[in-house]
Structure 1
Amino acid sequence: MDTQLLQRGETIKLAVFDVDGVLTDGRLYFLEDGSEFKSFSTLDGQGIKMLIASGVATAIISGRKSPVVERRANNLGIAHLFQGREDKLVVLDGLLAELGLSYEQVAYLGDDLPDLPVIRRVGLGMAVANAAPFVREHAHGVTQARGGEGAAREFCELILRAQGNLDTALAAYL
């Protein structure tokens, strides 16, 4: 495990996720009636639940708007949901003011250019394995897993490990 990433993860109080390409594989599925569906990983969901249980707040900031994302966020207990927002840094500014947190206390997981301003600004800015090359190049770290295939779980476990909470989180299932 990268020591620098673990050090960055020690002070994280808020973990923020993009959706398409991070919590999903990035594919958009549209039905004939105009509705859409998305596929989410249960592994990612469990990682997010463990992170929340450890006391880290969570948020989603997505450029697209979808009722499916709202349902997923509610199912996982993600308290802060922002959809239809490409200006992710502006959204994060408002959320930090509301929560009384600093950028250094934020971890962000993204995959494409709209995520890059946040990735570069926060304490722990990461990209998924299949992120755009330019985004991977400017992130603090890159997950081994692809978006929608365990990348968020890996990200959550990194934060839990950095804060000394991973063993406790896993022990609850033994």
Structure 2
Amino acid sequence: MGDADLLQRARAIKLAIFDVDGVLTDGKLYFLTDGSEFKTFNTLDGHGIKMLIGSGVTTAIISGRKTPVVERRAQNLGIQHLYQGREDKLVVLDELLGQLGLDYAQVAYLGDDLPDLPVIRRVGLGMAVASADAFVRRHAHGVTRARGGEGAAREFCEFIMAAQGTLDAAQSAYL
């Protein structure tokens, strides 16, 4: 993810949006016999999102599925905008941009599958995780080295922060 075009795109980012299944998770769906479900999230991804928020970038989740687990995870991380059960992610993107007064060039999106592709292609920095569908990877601006649920969101967050010159300060706070 280090080429000059991606760095230039990342410098303009004010809003980072994440898909859930296959991006913040490994993409597997776990259903219990009572009909409830659970998901596993990567703590490294979570801290990356917290650092990104701390650097001044607004965050959002747009997911086609709806589950209380995602709502809880978003609250725990301080993600400011949560949209669940929304199949047309481009419509949600336009709503959010109108609300925040931003344009497409100021948005980064991390996805993994075909429903993410219209947003990936529209925003300033549209990325796919390493485990994304091959067609999606081909049409994204860049692809993470890490797979979804295995540090891809952290890599995405740190890439944006590095491009904006905020990563060193965020990491140095722990020295």
* TM-score (ref. length: structure 1): 0.99
Q: Deviations over 1:59-101 (max 9, x none)?
A: 0000000000000000000010000011000001000000000
1:18 CA drift (Å): 0.1
Secondary structure at 2:127 match in 1 = strand
Secondary structure at 2:115 match in 1 = helix
Q: How does 1:4-153 map to 2 (within 5 A)?
A: 4-153=5-154
- For the aligned residue pairs, the C-alpha RMSD in angstroms reads 0.4
Identity among equivalent pairs (%) = 80
State how far apart, in whole Å, the 2-side matches of 1:2 and 1:47 are. 21
Secondary structure at 1:59 match in 2 = strand
Which position in structure 2 is the counterpart of 1:164?
165
Count residues in correspondence: 174
Letter in 1 for 2:147: R
State how far apart, in whole Å, the 2-side matches of 1:3 and 1:18 are. 25
Letter in 1 for 2:41: F
Structure 2 unaligned blocks of 5 or more: none
Structure 1 stretches of 4+ with a deviation exceeding 2 A read none
State how far apart, in whole Å, the 2-side matches of 1:78 and 1:147 are. 18
Structure 1 unaligned blocks of 5 or more: none
State how far apart, in whole Å, the 1-side matches of 2:6 and 2:67 are. 32
